[in-house]
Structure 1
Amino acid sequence: MSETAEIAGTARPGIGRARTLLLAVVCGAAVANIYYAQPLLHTIGEAFGVGDGTAGLLVTASQVGYAVALALLVPLGDLLERRRLVTGLLAACAVVLALAAAAPGFGLLAAAIALVGVTSAVAQIAVPLAASLAGDHERGQVVGTVMSGLLIGILGARTIAGFVAEAGGWRWVFGAAAGVMVLLAVVVRVGLPVVPSTESATYPRLLGTVLTLVRDEPELRRRMALGAVGMGCFTILWTSIDFLLSGPPYHYGPALVGLFGLAGLAGAGMALLAGRLADRGYQRLVVTVALVVLAASWGLLGLGGASVIALIAGVVVLDLAQQALQISHQSVIYALAPQARSRVTTAYMVSTFLGGTLASAGVAVVYPAAGWIGVCVLGGAVAVVGIGVWFLPRT
C-alpha cells in the first residue's frame, strides 16, 4: 500500500503521542488568535473611541475571515503536502498578527483581525491531519485530544489576553501571539513528517467536490446544522460575557474578565471523554444528552446576570455540552469519506462558523437592546432549534 493510501485509509498503526500533542498545540495556539480580542472588546473600544456594539464587530470580522478560509484554504489539505501548508500558514499568521498589533485605527485593526481569521484556519487543517495519521482504533481519542488543545486555545486565549493587556496594553497581546506563530512554524517543520496529498484534482474541481459531499451525505448535512447551532451558542456566550462583566453589577477589568475563560476549560476533559465514547459507538447518546444540557445551560447563564456563581456554573455546563457535541460530530463525519477529510472538514466548519458569525452579529443587535437576559433568550432559542434538528426523521 502507498504512503498516500495509508494516510487516507486504515493501515496506519498510530500517530504517536508526541505528534498528537504537537498538533493539539498548533490547533490551540492558532485558533486562540481569533479569540484574543473577545475579553478586550471594551478596552479596544475605549482606545479607539467606539461603542461596545461596534467593538463587538471585531469578533464578526475574525469569524468571517475564518469562514472564508475554511471554504477556500482548508480543502488544500487534501491537495497539497500538508507539513509545508501548515508551516506556511503559521508564518503568514505571524505577519498579520504583527499588523494587528501596530494598527493605528479601528478600521485597520478590523481588517488585520479578519486576515488573522483567514490564516488561523490552519487549525482546521491540523485536525483532519491528525485523524488521517491516527489508526482506526484510536481516531476518536486522537481527535478528542487535538480538539481539547483547540478548546484550551480558545478559552485560554481569554485569560492570557486579559493578563497581558492588564500588564502592557492590548497591542502586546497580538505582538506576543505573532512570536508564538513563528516558533510553531519552526517546530512543525522539524517535528512533523512529510504528509503527501490524497487528491490530484485541480483546485476548482477540488472545491466542487465539497458540494458533492454535502449533496450525497445526509448525515454530513445534519452534523453541519448541529455544528452551526453549537458554535452559535458558544459565540453568543463568549461575545457578550465581556460586556456583562465589564459593566454593572460586576465592573471587572480585563484580567478578571479573562479569568472566566478558565471556567470553560472543563470542556477540554469532556473532549477526551467524548472521543473515547465515539470510539466505543456511543456518539448518538452523547449528542442527545449534550443538546439537552446545552439548552438548560442558558437558564443558569440567565441567573448569572446577578450571581457570579450561577454565571460560572453556566459557562462550565455550556462548554461541556459544546465540546461533547463537537467531538461526536467530527468522529462521524471523518468516517464518511476517509480520502476527503479536509473537504469534509470544510463543509462542516464553514457551516459551524457561519453559525458563529450570525450569532456574533445577533449579539451586536440584541445586547444593546435587551441586555444580558436578551442574549440568554437568544442562546436558549438557538439550542432548542438544535434539538429539533437532531430529532428530525433520518432519510
Structure 2
Amino acid sequence: MNPPSQTEFVLRPPLILLMAVATGLSVAGIYYAQPLLDTIARAFDLSADRAGLIVTAAQLGYAAGLMFIVPLGDMFERRGLIVTMTLLSAGGLLITALAPDVIWIVIGTLLTGLFSVVAQILVPLAATLAEPQKRGRVVGLVMSGLLLGILLARTAAGALASLGGWRTVYWVAAILMVILALVLWRSLPRYQQKSDLNYGQLLTSICRLFVSHPVLRTRALVGACSFANFSILWTSIAFLLASPPYGYNEGVIGLFGLVGAAGALAASRAGHLADKGKATLSTSIGMVLLLLSWAAIYAGADLLWPLLLGIVVLDLAVQGIHVTNQSVIYHMMPEARNRLTAGYMTSYFIGGATGSLASAYAYEHGGWAGVCAAGAVFSVLNLLIWLGSPAGRYNTVTQIH
C-alpha cells in the first residue's frame, strides 16, 4: 500500500499519536545517558564533569542538526527526509552500543543528537497538516510525545541497564529506531514545501528572522534559559541519587523520569492557552514556577518529597513555556516553519548544552548546592529577559513577508 499524498491527506488522531511517539523515540536517544552517567563514569574511570561531556556532546549535536539539517525540510520531500534521518540516528545509537572507550561514546551520542532533530521536522509537519483552529492543540499533543520521550528515556534506560548493562539500552534503542523508520515510511504522507530559496539562502534567512523579529528573539532566549534549567537538574541528579543519603541504582534513578513525565503531561495544556490568546499569561506563570522550583530541589538534597515536588514543578514550567513558545512562533510564516523551528530550537539546545556544562562543573566543585545555585541564576536571567522585552511578549504575530 502506498502512503497518501498531501493533496488527499487528512490529519487524523492515529497519525497524531504516531507522530507523538516518533518524536519521543527520536529525541530520547540523546537522553539515555543521563541516568547512566554514574555507571559510565565508573566503567571508564571518569570524573563527574568529564562524564557530563557525553550529555553535552549529544545536545551540541542536536543544536548543529537544528541549524543545518532542519531547514532542509523547507527544500526536500518530508517523508523521505524523516525516514533517512531516523535510520541515521539508529546508526549513532549502534556506535554507542559498540563503543570501546568514552571517545566513541561521545562520537555516537554526537551523531545520534545530530540526526535526532528529525523530531523537529515532525513537529512543524504536524502543525502544517493540522486544521488552523486546532494547530495549538495538535502541536501540544505532538510536543507531549517529545517531552515524554525526553523524560521517559531515563526510566527506560535505567530499567534496561539494570537488566543487561548500559550497552543494552543502546542496542534496544537502535532496533526500535529501525522499526520506527519502516512504520513512518508506510504511514506519513508525501509532503514537499515549495521554496525558491537554495540551502545557503535558507540559512541566511534564519539569521534575518532573528534580526527582524523581536518575538522570535525573545522566545528563543526564553527557551534557551528554560532548557538550561532543565539540563542543570537532569545532568547532575544521577550523581545526587547514587550518593548518600539515597544510594539508588540505575533502575531506581531512571524511575525519577516518571515524576518529570507528570509535569510534561500537564504542560500540554499550554497549547490550549496559546490558542485562546493567553500565551503571555502562560509564559509568565511558567517563569515564576521555574524559579520557585529550585527552593524545593535544594531541600531535596536530604529529603525525597521536596525533591519530587521540585522535579514536577520544574518540568511543568519548562515544558509549558516551550509549548507556548512554539505555538506563538508557528503563527509566523507558515511557509517557513522549518526555518523558524531551526532558529528557535538551535537556541533552545545551545541553552541545554550550556546548562549541562554548568551543572557538571557546579556539582564537581559545589555539590548539590552549587547545582541549585546555577539553576536559580538561570531562572532569574530568564525573568529579566522576559520582563525586559515587551515586544517579544505578544501572543501572536502577523505574517512576515
TM range (shorter): over 0.9
The answer for the alignment partner of 1:323 in structure 2 is 319
Match of 2:161 among 153, 162, 165: 165
- 1:394 deviates by 2.7
- Rounded Cα–Cα distance in structure 2 between residues aligned with 1:238 and 1:25: 22
Q: Is 1:123 aligned with 2:123? A: no
- 1:270 deviates by 2.2
Match of 1:43 among 39, 44, 51: 39
* Maintained 8 Å contact 2:15/2:187: yes
- Rounded Cα–Cα distance in structure 2 between residues aligned with 1:390 and 1:12: 42
- Rounded Cα–Cα distance in structure 1 between residues aligned with 2:320 and 2:135: 15
The answer for the alignment partner of 1:3 in structure 2 is none
- 1:53 deviates by 1.8
Match of 1:135 among 99, 124, 131: 131
Q: In the TM superposition, what whole-angstrom CA distance separates every residue of 1:221-251 from its partner, at most 9, and x where no partner exists?
A: 0000000011000000000111100111111
Aligned length: 387
Map residues 285-300 of structure 1 onto 2, 5 A cutoff. 285-300=281-296
- Rounded Cα–Cα distance in structure 2 between residues aligned with 1:242 and 1:272: 26
- Rounded Cα–Cα distance in structure 2 between residues aligned with 1:46 and 1:64: 24
Match of 2:54 among 54, 58, 63: 58
Match of 1:244 among 228, 240, 263: 240
3-state SS in 2 of match to 1:15: coil
Give the aligned residue type for 1:236: I
Match of 2:97 among 78, 84, 101: 101
Q: In the TM superposition, what whole-angstrom CA distance separates every residue of 1:297-350 from its partner, at most 9, and x where no partner exists?
A: 000000000101010000000011111101110011010111100000011011
Q: Is 1:226 aligned with 2:222? A: yes
The answer for the alignment partner of 1:151 in structure 2 is 147
Give the aligned residue type for 1:128: P
* Maintained 8 Å contact 2:9/2:189: no
- Rounded Cα–Cα distance in structure 2 between residues aligned with 1:136 and 1:78: 19
- 1:15 deviates by 2.0
The answer for the alignment partner of 1:265 in structure 2 is 261
- Rounded Cα–Cα distance in structure 1 between residues aligned with 2:372 and 2:8: 45
- 1:390 deviates by 1.0
Percent identity between matched residues is: 45
- Rounded Cα–Cα distance in structure 1 between residues aligned with 2:229 and 2:92: 28
Q: Is 1:301 aligned with 2:276? A: no
Match of 2:11 among 11, 15, 23: 15
* Maintained 8 Å contact 1:151/1:267: no
- 1:393 deviates by 4.2
The answer for the alignment partner of 2:344 in structure 1 is 348
- Rounded Cα–Cα distance in structure 2 between residues aligned with 1:197 and 1:212: 20
* Maintained 8 Å contact 1:14/1:135: no
Q: In the TM superposition, what whole-angstrom CA distance separates every residue of 1:22-64 from its partner, at most 9, and x where no partner exists?
A: 1101100000000000000010111112122211110011011
Q: Is 1:210 aligned with 2:194? A: no
- TM-score with structure 2 setting the length: 0.94
* Maintained 8 Å contact 2:148/2:265: no
* Maintained 8 Å contact 2:49/2:357: no
* Maintained 8 Å contact 1:291/1:386: yes
- Rounded Cα–Cα distance in structure 1 between residues aligned with 2:61 and 2:126: 23
- 1:374 deviates by 0.8
- Rounded Cα–Cα distance in structure 1 between residues aligned with 2:91 and 2:60: 19
- Rounded Cα–Cα distance in structure 2 between residues aligned with 1:248 and 1:56: 20
Q: In the TM superposition, what whole-angstrom CA distance separates every residue of 1:64-116 from its partner, at most 9, and x where no partner exists?
A: 11111011000011111000000000011111211110000111111111111
Q: Is 1:235 aligned with 2:231? A: yes
Give the aligned residue type for 2:282: V
- Rounded Cα–Cα distance in structure 1 between residues aligned with 2:267 and 2:350: 22
| Residues 171, 393 of structure 1: alpha-carbon distance in 2 compared, 3 angstrom cutoff | closer
Q: Is 1:67 aligned with 2:51? A: no
- Rounded Cα–Cα distance in structure 2 between residues aligned with 1:167 and 1:196: 43
- Rounded Cα–Cα distance in structure 1 between residues aligned with 2:268 and 2:360: 33
List structure 1 runs of 4+ shifted beyond 3 angstroms. 11-14
Give the aligned residue type for 1:49: D
- 1:201 deviates by 1.5
Gaps of 5+ in 1: 1-5
- Rounded Cα–Cα distance in structure 1 between residues aligned with 2:243 and 2:28: 25
Give the aligned residue type for 2:168: W
- Rounded Cα–Cα distance in structure 2 between residues aligned with 1:267 and 1:50: 32
- Rounded Cα–Cα distance in structure 2 between residues aligned with 1:269 and 1:364: 28
Give the aligned residue type for 2:167: R
| Residues 109, 253 of structure 1: alpha-carbon distance in 2 compared, 3 angstrom cutoff | same
Give the aligned residue type for 1:260: F
The answer for the alignment partner of 2:394 in structure 1 is none
The answer for the alignment partner of 1:378 in structure 2 is 374
* Maintained 8 Å contact 2:282/2:324: yes
Farther off after superposition, 90-99 or 219-228: 90-99
- Rounded Cα–Cα distance in structure 2 between residues aligned with 1:357 and 1:256: 25
- 1:13 deviates by 9.4
Farther off after superposition, 265-274 or 190-199: 265-274
- TM-score with structure 1 setting the length: 0.96
Give the aligned residue type for 2:242: S
- Rounded Cα–Cα distance in structure 2 between residues aligned with 1:371 and 1:262: 24
- Rounded Cα–Cα distance in structure 2 between residues aligned with 1:188 and 1:13: 15
The answer for the alignment partner of 1:284 in structure 2 is 280
3-state SS in 1 of match to 2:306: helix
| Residues 50, 393 of structure 1: alpha-carbon distance in 2 compared, 3 angstrom cutoff | closer
Farther off after superposition, 288-297 or 357-366: 357-366
